[in-house]
Chains A and B, each alone.
Chain A
Amino acid sequence: MAIRHFCMDERANLLWVHCRPICTVIWGIIRNTFCSFKMNTRVRTEQFCRNEYNLTGLCSRKYCPLGNSRYATIREFNGVCYLYMKTIERAAFPNKLWERVKLSKNFEKALKQIDDNLIFWPSFYKYKCKQRLTKITQYLIRMRKIMMYGRRKIVPVSRKIEKREKNREAKAWKAAKLDNAIEKELLERLKKGTYGDVYNIPAVAFDNVLKAEETDDEDEDRAQLEYEGAEEQEEEEEEEEEVEGEIEYIADEDFQESDASDVEDMDRVLPQGKGGHDASDDDESSGEEETKTGKGKSVKGRPGNLREPEWRLSTRRRDRHRRNRGSQNHFDETVIAAGDDENGDP
C-alpha cells in the first residue's frame, strides 16, 4: 500500500481512505480477539476503552485510538488542557506519533484553537474534542471551588470507642454528684462573704450551723485534696466581688451526703407567707421559687429572707400561658438529694 506524502489540504481525506485497510486490520483484531484497553460493563450494553487517548471512552470503530491512524483528543494535565493529534505520516515513528498543542486557559480561545488545528478534519473530531474540553473545564472549575471553600472532612466513628466514652461519662456523672458539688461551692462562697450584703442572714443561725459543722469536721480527717489554704483565702478577700477564676478543689470524702433525714420538715423551710406580697409576685414566671402552689406569697418581711430580684416579665404568649396556669413550684420539693433533678440523664 502506497502511502503518499500527507499535505494539509482537502486531499487529506483521500489519504485516509487510502490507508483504511491498515486501520481495518487493527480494528478487526481489537474487536474480535483481544484488546487490553477494552472494558466490559456487567450489563454488556456498553464497552469502554481505557486508553488515555480515547476521545469519548467508548470502544467503537470510530473512537478507537489504536484502530484509527488519524485521531485527535483533549487531555488535561495539572489543570492545563492539551490537544493531541495523531496522523498517518508519523505512524512509523511511535516516539513522535502524538502531536501536542497547549490550549489556552480561556475557554473561547481554546475552542478556536481546536478549530484551527483540526481545520480539515472530519467534523465529528472537532465536535467531540470541544465536548471533551467543556467537560474537563467544568470539573477543573469545580475542583478549584472545592479547594477554595474546603470540604467537610468525614471522619469514621469507632463504635467501640464511642461506647466506651459514653459509659465513662455516665460513671463520671454518677461520681460527680453535681448538685451536691454546686451546693457546697455556693455555701462556701456565702461563708466567705463574696455575696456581701445581698442576703440578710441572722448571725445566730449562721453561727450555730458553723459550730455544728466544726464539730463534725473535727472527727473527720481533712483529706489531702482539701486546698483551703490561707493564701487562697487572702486572695479572695482582696478581690471580694470577683467570683470568677476561683478554682475549688473538692475531695470526694468531704462531700456530706445529703440524706432526706437530714433535712428539716420541708413545710417549715419556706415560711408560709403572711401578707406583704405584691400583685407582681403572682404574675412572676413559674421559674420563681418563692411562690407556692396557687398562692403567690413572697418571703418579705421575715428574717433570713432574700431580697427579691427584679424579674423581667416576659410577654410571650407561652409564658403568659404558663403564668396563668398557675406556678408550678418545683423548688420546694427539690430536696437536695443527689440525682433527683437530673432525670433522664444516664
Chain B
Amino acid sequence: MEEKFIEAPPQEEPTEPPIFPQNTFSHIRNKTRRRELYRQFKLDVAKSKKLEKLRKKKEKEELGDKAPPKQVPKTIESMRVFEETMVDPGDREVQHDEDHDEMAPYFKREVAPKVLITHSNRTVWRIRKFLRELRSTIPSSKVFRRKNIRLKRVIQQAISKDYTHVIVLHHDKTVPNGLIISQLPNGPTAHFRISNVRIRKEIKRCGLHTYHKPEVVLNNFGTRLGHRVGRLFATMFEQDPEFVGRQVVTFHNQRDYIFFRRHRYVFKKNMRVALQELGPRFTLKLRSLQKGTFDTKYGEYEFVHKRREMDNNRRKFFL
C-alpha cells in the first residue's frame, strides 16, 4: 500500500503579531529596565523626526517649486473667528469717521493732551510708585491724590482746569485691578482690567528713563473697536515725539489682551534693534467702552464685555 501522505496544508508562515509602537512603559515594574526602555523610545522618536526633516529638506531641494508646500501650524490667531468689524486700511468711511470723532483734534494737533492720574481708595507705597511711573511715561501728566472725593466731582474740576484725560487706577490694597481712561470733556471712557503690574523695581535689568517724549506703537488693533481704543491710547501722548530720546511706548494687542511696555531702543549694525526695558509694565483687558465720561448708571455703552456670552469661544476676539 502506498503510503499516502496527506500533505499538510501549506503552512503559512507564522505571522508575527503586529507590533504596536509602545509609548508607555508603566507596566514594567523594574525601574532600571523601564527607564532604559523609555530613554530608548525617546531617542528613537527624536531620530525618526530628524530623518523626516532631512527627507523633507531633500525633497524640497529636489523638487524645487513642485515640492509640497510647507506646513504652517495653526495658531489661534490664524483661526480667529471672522470679525465683520475688521477695518480695511483703505476704507473711506472709517477714515471719515476717524477724522470726525472725539479724538481727531489730538491728531490734528489742535489740542494738546493734559492727563490727570488718580487712584481710588487708600493707597499703599507700591500703588503710588506705579502712578508716579505712569506719570513719567505720559508726558504732561500729573498725579492727583484724591481721598474720598467722588469721581464725578473730580472730573468736573478737571474739565474746568483744562485737563484732557483722566486716568483712574482702581486697586485693592497693593494690587491694581482696574484702570479707567476717560477723555474729557465728552470723550469716550474705557474701563480696563489691569493685571501683571510690575514697577521698575520688579523688572530685571530695568533702565532709567529720560524726559524725552516717547513714540507710541500700537499693534494689532484691528477692528473698529480696536481702532477706537488704540486711538484713545495715542491721544494721551504728545504728538511730536523726540526721536533723539529713543524711547518707545508700546500697546500690543494680542487676543484682546493689551500689553503695555516701555523701551529704549537702539539700531544696531545688522539692522537689528536692541531694546532695554524701562518703566512700568502691565496688561490691560477691555471691559467696557462708554461714550460719555464715566457715568455708570445712565451712560451709553459702546462695548461691554459680557463673560458668559463672550468668553465662550477661544477664537473670537473683539479688538
Contact = CB atoms under 8 A, between A and B. Distances in A.
A249 B230 CA distance: 12
Interface stretch (B34-42, B49-57, B233-241): B233-241
Nearest to A166: B195
Nearest to B76: A175
B121 interface: yes
B48 interface: no
B268 A241 contact: no
Contacts, number: 198
Interface in B254-303: 254-257, 259, 261, 263-278, 283, 285
B217 interface: yes
* Interface majority SS (helix, strand, loop, mixed), chain A: loop
Contacts of B222: 249
A330 B205 CA distance: 7
Contacts of B245: 309
Contacts of B274: 289, 331-332, 334, 336
Interface in A326-346: 328, 330-332, 334, 336, 341-346
Nearest to B278: A287
A229 B89 contact: yes
Given A247-B221, A249-B222, A149 B273 contact: no
A231 B89 contact: yes
Nearest to B256: A172
Contacts of B85: none
A115 B231 CA distance: 68
A231 to B, nearest CB: 5
A204 interface: no
Interface string A31-49: 0000000000000000000
A286 B261 contact: no
A336 B272 contact: yes
B210 A185 contact: no
Contacts of A201: 267
Interface string B144-165: 0000101000000000000000
A247 B268 contact: no
B9 interface: no
Given A244-B107, A336-B275, A185 B217 contact: yes
Interface string A281-296: 0000111011000000
Interface in A152-193: 152, 161, 164-166, 168-169, 171-173, 175-176, 178-179, 181-183, 185-187, 189-190
Contacts of A244: 107, 215-216, 234-235, 237, 239, 241
B250 interface: yes
A314 interface: yes
B217 A182 contact: yes
A205 B267 CA distance: 13
A149 B254 contact: no
A152 B151 CA distance: 12
Contact of A242 (B211, B239, B261, B275): B239
Contacts of A186: 217, 248, 265, 267, 273
B208 interface: yes
Contact of A250 (B75, B208, B219, B248): B219
B273 to A, nearest CB: 4
Contacts of A189: 215
A277 B16 CA distance: 79
A268 B272 CA distance: 13
A250 B230 CA distance: 15
A76 interface: no
Given A244-B107, A252-B75, A331-B274, A164 B311 contact: yes
B228 to A, nearest CB: 11
B297 to A, nearest CB: 12
Which has the most chain B C-beta neighbours within 10 Å: A171, A206, A247? A247
Contacts of B210: 309, 311-312
A54 B215 CA distance: 71
B92 to A, nearest CB: 10
Contact of A241 (B75, B209, B240, B261): B240
Given A173-B283, A253-B72, 7 more contacts: A173-B254, A175-B75, A185-B250, A201-B267, A241-B240, A247-B218, A269-B272
In order of increasing CB-CB distance, the 4 nearest A-B pairs are A287-B207, A176-B254, A172-B255, A183-B273
